[in-house]
Amino acid sequence: MSYEDLSTKYSLIGRNRRISNEEFSEKTKGRKGIGKLATLFLSKKYYIVSKKGGIETAWMLDSTNASDSDIPELIRVDINDVSIENKSVWESFESGTLIKSVGVNLSGFAEGKLDSLKMNLANYYLLNNIGAVIEVAYKTKAKQKIEFSKVSKVIGFKNLYAFFQTSEGIVENKLLNAS
Q: Domain ranges for the chain, please list them.
A: 1-105, 106-179
Contact 171, 178 (CB under 8 A): no
The span from the CA of 15 to the CA of 33, in Å, is 7
The span from the CA of 168 to the CA of 6, in Å, is 60
Tell me: the pLDDT tens digits for 55-78?
A: 899 998 888 887 767 777 788 999
How much is the average pLDDT of 97-102? Answer: 84
Listed in sequence order, the residues at least 6 apart from 63 whose beta carbon sits closer than 8 Å to its beta carbon are: 40, 44, 45, 70, 72
pLDDT at 124 over 50: yes
How much is the average pLDDT of 163-179? Answer: 63
How much is the average pLDDT of 49-54? Answer: 87
Residue 151: band (very low, low, confident or very high) from pLDDT cuts 50, 70, 90: confident
Residue 24: band (very low, low, confident or very high) from pLDDT cuts 50, 70, 90: very low
**Residue 2: φ, ψ to 5°:** -80, 170
Bridge-based pairing of strands 149-150 and 55-62 is: unpaired
SS3 30: coil
Higher pLDDT, 40 or 84: 84
Listed in sequence order, the residues at least 6 apart from 137 whose beta carbon sits closer than 8 Å to its beta carbon are: 86, 146, 147, 148, 149
